[in-house]
Amino acid sequence: MKISKKTKFNLKMIKKTINDRLYDSILSKTNNFNDTKLDKKTLEEISKKLIDLVVEIDASSTQDSKAANTLENYLYTKVK
CA-wise closest residue to 33 among 78, 42, 76, 8: 42
Q: How far from the centroid of its chain's Cα atoms is residue 45's Cα?
A: 9
CA-wise closest residue to 51 among 40, 59, 79: 59
Which parts of 33-72 interact with another protein (CB under 8 A)? 36, 38, 42-43, 46-47, 50-51, 53-55, 57-58, 64-65, 67-68, 71-72
Q: In the complex, which residues of this chain contact another protein (CB under 8 A)?
A: 1-3, 8, 12, 15-18, 21-22, 25-26, 29-30, 36, 38, 42-43, 46-47, 50-51, 53-55, 57-58, 64-65, 67-68, 71-72, 75-76, 79-80
